[in-house]
Chain A
Amino acid sequence: MNSGSLSQPFLLARGVTKTYVHRGWSHRGRHKALDQVDMALPFAKTVALVGESGSGKTTLAMCLAGLECPDAGEIWMEGRDLVSAGKRQLAAIRPQLQMLWQDSAAALSPVLTASEIVEEPLLAQLRASPRQRSEIVSDLFQKVGLRLEWRIRYPHQLSGGQRQRLAIARALASQPRLLVLDEPFTGLDLSVRGQIINLLLDLQATHALTYLYVSHDLEVVRYFADEVAVMHRGRIVEQAPTAELFVRPSHLYTKKLLSAIPAFAGIQGCAN
């Protein structure tokens, strides 16, 4: 694996392994979702994680976000290992790792209003008066470009783009350092997608956020990510700066992945 990190890694995964065991009454199945994954996320940069469905992208993303616990391996973040950390330590670190989901409707509680949704993390983490919390919520709404009069709306009363903005506001409420983006642009129309991408790029610049972007969409990856990691059957087969990877893919599977997309088949042709 060639790891061309641009700067000092913010998060470093080593030998991360996760096996799902299915215990049924008729049969037992084992599925190795992650097999000795090594990965580095450079500070305040975006790494895209690409690969076919079932290659383990989402499992890896959940592990790095602290929502799944790997069976083996280490995940180092600023001198602390998430895997071996105790419950208390993990609870302290976890709010710094936030996630955006593909389906924004499922990612927001259907029975809470927009402002309640953003307020929940504040209730868990801050000792603040209701008034202070309300100010923070307004501030977050402004940051992500939501109108204040939408505070009393429920998620189903917002559009897909507005919901994704709301999810971003909620994530920011925990003052995260890492944001795992699990295909958050899928299902948004092109102009809204552009707005959300630009919002995330702005937030990255102003808040020094590190992104892990899980995606199928190589076009967005090329525009959005600084590095690309290619995942195949539970392993990272290649990780390289975006420009380099798209022009000179070194692993056979990466070549196949790129050539499957007509637009990139052309680019590859030029490079050869």
Chain B
Amino acid sequence: MRYFGLRMGQALLLLVGVSLLSFVFLQLAPGDFFSEMRLNPQVSSETVDSLRQQYGLDRPLPVRYWRWLRSVAHGELGFSFAYNSPVAPLLGVRARNTLLLTSMATFLAWSAAIPLGVLSAASPQGWLARSCSLGSATLLATPDLLLALAGLMFAVRSGWLRIGGMASAEIDAAQGWLRIRDVASHLLAPVTVLVLGSLPILLRHTTSAMREALASPFVSAARAHGIGRTRILFRHALPAAMNPLVSLMGASLASLLSASLLVEVVMGWPGIGPLLLEAILNRDLYVVIGVVMLSTFFLVAGMLTADLLLFVADPRIRREGLA
């Protein structure tokens, strides 16, 4: 347990480091939210200066960092110039939408990858293994952007899937079953694109880990004892093949917040992606930092979760951890 205390400390340090670096880099970038106003002849230079003063942009970097830290302590994460509101509630809603999308996609991708990988490894010359390998090679070679655009095109042409936003305008106020169905129909296209994008990597890792496990003597031993095929696959080989997969699961947890940026922007899903893009274009400083911090937080939390899972899944590590 001391080990996990240490890891928590490291995680905290990492978060502080990332926040400092984001401040410094955004400082280095030219211009700020109010720079464009200077080009507008109807806004006087004094007005812009007073606005900058009002938002504290004229202060030196350390002061601004200190103020930001204090606002983090208050749970506000700074202030958005564009939305004229604290960053935290803004991020909260968007993060919830993104998590709905990505957790669904991650769950579906894993639920497909594990059985397909296990079966591909079980009969590597079979039609399933061949088509999985061909399919994943094709998907790997396809850029995510192309995949998203193809999904968009399919949705628009076929008219079966709803695209843009999270809910239809007329149903926005409705509650219960109707609303769930409406959100689900909006989810379908982005989730499909995300699943297709992440599936090949998960599938390849599952297949190769399983093939390795199936080649080891303890699997031959199980066969010699007349233990059934399904039991060999799922009780003997899969748990032994789990280690690299658990690490990969941690990575997919870690990327829950950032994996879907592109798809969200292309398909108009109101998640973190469009918010971040907008904020960067507007130089809405604290929103950008807020998104970066939240992503880092998820990264760290995902890695910690992966370690915990490994601890649970592998008796060899469990032993070392306790000693």
Chain A residues within CB distance 8 Å of chain B: 62, 65-67, 91, 94-95, 97-99, 101, 103, 106-112, 120-121, 123-125, 154, 156-157, 167, 170, 173-174
Contacts and interface: CB of A to CB of B under 8 A. Distances in A.
Contact of A121 (B216, B225, B313, B319): B225
Interface residues of B, number: 23
Contacts of B240: 109-111
B223 interface: yes
B315 A99 contact: no
Given A109-B236, A156-B319, A120 B222 contact: yes
Nearest to A108: B218
Contact of A94 (B226, B228, B235): B226
A95 B226 contact: yes
A125 B313 CA distance: 28
A82 B314 CA distance: 38
A257 to B, nearest CB: 27
B217 A120 contact: no
A62 to B, nearest CB: 8
Contacts of A101: 217, 220-221
A98 B224 contact: yes
Nearest to B215: A106
Nearest to B219: A109
Given A109-B236, A110-B240, A124-B227, A157 B220 contact: no
Contacts of B226: 91, 94-95, 121, 124-125, 174
Given A99-B221, A107-B217, A124-B228, 9 more contacts: A65-B224, A97-B224, A110-B315, A120-B222, A121-B225, A125-B225, A125-B226, A156-B319, A157-B319
A119 to B, nearest CB: 11
B320 to A, nearest CB: 10
B2 interface: no
A91 B227 CA distance: 9
